[in-house]
Amino acid sequence: MLDLESIFSSDGVLSASIPGFHVRSQQLEMAQAIADSIEKHQVLVAEAGTGTGKTVAYLVPALLLGGKVIISTGTKTLQDQLFERDIPMVRSALKVPVTIALLKGRANYICHYHLEKTVQDTHATFANRDEIKYLHHIERFAKHSTTGDKSSLKDVPENASIWQMVTSTRDNCLGSECAHFKQCFVMEARKQALSADVIVVNHHLFFADVMLRDEGLSELLPACNTVIFDEAHQLPETASLFFGESISTGQLLDLVHDAKVEAIQSAAEVTALANVIAATEKATRDLRLTIPEDNTRLSLAMLKHNTSFGPALDNLLETMTALVKLLESQAERSEGLENCRQRAANHLYMVQNWRNEAELSDHVRWVEVYHQALQLHATPLNVAEIFARQMNASPRAWIFTSATLSVKKDFSHYNDEMGLAAAQTACWDSPFNFAEQAVLYVPTDLPEPHHRQYTDHVVQVALPVLRASRGRAFFLCTSLRAMQRVHELLVQSDEFDYPLLLQGQGSRSYLLDQFRALDNAVLIGSQSFWEGVDVRGDALSLVIIDKLPFASPDDPVLSARIEKMNNEGRNAFMEYQLPRAVINLKQGAGRLIRDETDRGVLMICDPRLITKTYGKQIWQSLPPMKRTRELAEVERFFAERENASTL
């Protein structure tokens, strides 16, 4: 029997080895519940409030009892933190000889074949001199690196466009046909993962593999005893993405680029091939140009009003059909042309499928438009059945954990969405003293959020609170448009005199470093700063949320799911929209108190928190803070804190 009490006690191995370790009853109870689920091969959905120490709570039983363990995280940043810091720290404290491996998607590893092609390609066009310099850095790095992981090469920015030319995708990887197969960094990472006791992946990789059998996990899962999902609240969205089908103009243009290079090198005299490649490129770009908007999602019904979209899609299908036929006649000339043939046939099939309504009757078809690309999506209306099938394939423990999975400790929304009907559930509150450390402030006299000048009113009521907190705030908005308007109004205001940071002015990590260093800044952000952000101490003393984070009813996937639920006689608002909004709000609110000594104000500007009957359900799902609607009480809270810090 595993003695977790002594391991987590004040004189236990964790306390002796981990700096700043505190004994917390919630952490021990969570570790015991996870150990029990691992031993019985059960499914556990576990919510643990901020400060519980959930990472250590799941790592201890996983390393001692888990057998072969896959840990899946929400982001690559958390993935790196687990692999480089958290797991080695707990492994060292427990003195267990487990081996660990880090496995990322193939786009994170340098590809020798594509690097060589890019270096040799005299037709390659680089955006600027930096790209040429970056290519030389990558070439040197590839010769000496043992992993080929691009995150280890700090000299080249992660978003540099050169990476697309020196990494592979599922589409353009030559597999065992590649001349560099034996030196392949992706294959080496998979080999390490196969032999390791603990493998750290991220949700995108996990689901991409479950569906596409591409990233090496399909070999790992059968032998795996325990799967742990950290930041599990992100799974419904990720699962929807990967259980559906999508094809983008970006993928088609990548195919065109690779086909051009291969045709020049292996079939230069076949002018018909060059012509049809050019025609496919034009048809692809023409399809994107049929929709003038950027960063938008359009349903099939909306697209019916667009008279140019349908003909452009038909033209693309025609040119792609011709491309596939010509590539079939030339494919034997090189492995690269054969790869292009396979990709072209697959892409053609995906576009035809999307066009054919009968093929995807249980999916919602929609289009997502970016600045330079357009993506055709077919998303399943329900992922529960698909995911339940994956889980039931063989007996193992499945652990789902996050700080935000329930609504008032009720997990039915999450379990229904993920198909976890038989799951055990458990909830541990944060050990922090929210009643003393935090105040929830809902200002009075605000109009309803649909008011045309709602954001202007929000900024007006926020200004005196920002003065009282002396900056040191996150201003979290539910839309990019509101975020830009808040920034514009604060820049213009004579009453505001603190450093301003705006999402998009730099990477998230850069803005957070700036925010911490300035110590009195106001950071205005949208979705990027609602979760996965940890600022401790006085630098963050106020979190302002402009409105309750209900997803836009115009979203094609959401509106289709609402329609389906309502047609079934269910209440889509109470069963689906409200629980999702609560979980998102809990994430945003969770930025405020990150430590036992943190103190601050959570300001939610939306009057629906008070005026609507469902408002009570929302604030009762938040940590138990003192609540007020009086500005004077908020100003007094900050003044008392200032006085206490000067004593």
The CATH number given to whatever domain includes residue 375 is 1.20.1440
Task: Average the pLDDT over 349-356 and give the result.
Answer: 92
Instruction: Say how far residue 292 (Cα) sits from the centre of its chain.
Output: 27
Strand runs (DSSP E) across 353-494, as ranges? 363-369, 374-380, 397-402, 424-428, 438-441, 473-476
| Cα gap 112→116, rounded to integer Å | 6
Residue 587 pLDDT greater than 90, yes or no: yes
Do residues 251 and 327 both lie within one domain? yes
Q: Are both 219 and 368 inside the same structural domain?
A: no
The whole-number average pLDDT for the span 322-339 is 90
Determine contact, residues 615/555, Cβ cutoff 8 Å. no
The rounded mean pLDDT for the chain is 91
Q: What is the structure's pLDDT at 217?
A: 56
Last residue of a domain, one of 405, 428, 451: 428
* Position 171 in a domain: no
Query: At residue 646, does pLDDT exceed 70?
Result: no
**441/423 same-domain check:** no
448 has pLDDT over 90: yes
- Does a structural domain hold residue 489? yes
Mean pLDDT of 495-520: 91
Q: Examine the domain organization and report whether 498 and 639 are in the same domain.
A: yes
> Can you give the pLDDT at residue 205?
86
Asked whether residue 15 is domain-assigned, the answer is no
Compute the distance between CA of residue 415 and CA of residue 412 in angstroms, rounded to an integer. 5
Confidence of residue 442 (pLDDT cuts 50, 70, 90): very high
Flag whether pLDDT at 290 surpasses 90.
yes
Q: How many CB atoms lie within 10 A of CB 544?
A: 27
Q: Strand 473-476 relative to strand 542-545: parallel, antiparallel, unpaired?
A: parallel
- Same-domain status, 204 and 258: no
Same structural domain, 281 and 338 = yes
Q: Which two tokens stand for residue 152?
A: 């280890």
Q: Which two tokens stand for residue 442?
A: 């809902």
Are the CB atoms for 266 and 333 separated by under 8 Å?
Answer: yes
Structural domain harbouring 407:
26-101+187-239+384-428
Comparing 304 with 548, which gets the higher pLDDT?
548
Per-residue confidence (pLDDT) for residue 640, from 0 to 100: 86
Cα dist from 236 to 379, 417, 420, 577, whole Å:
12, 7, 12, 13
pLDDT higher than 80, residue 209? no
Q: Give the model's confidence band at 645: pLDDT under 50 very low, under 70 low, under 90 confident, else very high.
A: low
Does 153 reside within a domain?
no
Say which residue the tokens 């003192």 belong to: 626
Q: With bands split at pLDDT 50, 70 and 90, how would you rate the model's confidence at 216?
A: low
Stated as kind and residue range, the H or E segment containing 438 is: strand 438-441
Do 517 and 576 contact (CB within 8 A), yes or no? no
Calculate Rg over the CA atoms of the chain: 26
Q: Which pLDDT tens digit goes with each residue over 386-421?
A: 888 888 877 899 999 999 999 999 999 999 999 998
Amino acid at 7: I
The Cα 146–Cα 110 span in angstroms is: 11
What is the rounded distance in angstroms from the CA atom of residue 18 to the CA atom of residue 8?
A: 11
274 and 370 both lie in a single domain:
yes
Q: Are residues 203 and 230 in the same domain?
A: yes
Give CA–CA dist 74/533, Å, rounded: 12
Sheet holding 397-402, edge to edge: 100-102, 198-202, 69-73, 226-229, 397-402, 43-48, 424-428
pLDDT exceeds 60 at position 215: no
Q: Are residues 515 and 414 in the same domain?
A: no
The rounded distance, in Å, linking the Cα atoms of 462 and 616 is 23
CA distance 441 to 581: 18
Cβ-in-10-Å burial (0-12, 13-18, 19+) of 292 comes to exposed
Q: Are residues 419 and 370 in the same domain?
A: no
pLDDT, one tens digit per residue, over 624-634 is: 999 999 999 99
Burial class (CB in 10 A: 0-12, 13-18, 19+), 149: middle
Q: Does residue 210 form part of some domain?
A: yes
Averaged pLDDT for residues 561-585: 93
User: Is residue 148 in a domain?
Assistant: no
If residue 70 lies in a helix (H) or strand (E), which one and from where to where? strand 69-73
Q: Are 243 and 386 in contact (CB under 8 A)?
A: yes
Q: How far, in Å, CA of 350 to CA of 313, rounded?
A: 12
3-state secondary structure of 288: helix
- According to DSSP, residue 551 is labeled P
Q: What are 353-381's pLDDT values in tens digits?
A: 999 876 667 889 999 998 889 999 999 98
pLDDT digits (tens, 9 = 90+) for 248-257: 999 999 999 8
Q: Are residues 503 and 581 in the same domain?
A: yes
Whether pLDDT at 295 is above 90: no
| 398: in domain | yes
pTM of the model as a whole: 0.88
**Which of 362, 380, 398 represents a domain boundary (last residue)?**
380
Is it the case that residue 454 has pLDDT exceeding 90? Answer: yes
How far apart (Å, rounded) are the C-alpha atoms in residues 489 and 459?
7
Q: What is the mean pLDDT of residues 584-593?
A: 93
CATH number, domain at 508?
Answer: 3.40.50.300
Domains held by the chain: number: 3
As a whole number, mean pLDDT of residues 512-532 equals 92
Mark whether 460 and 557 lie in a shared domain: yes
Residue 7 · residue 14 · CB < 8 Å? yes
Residue 170 inside a domain? The answer is no
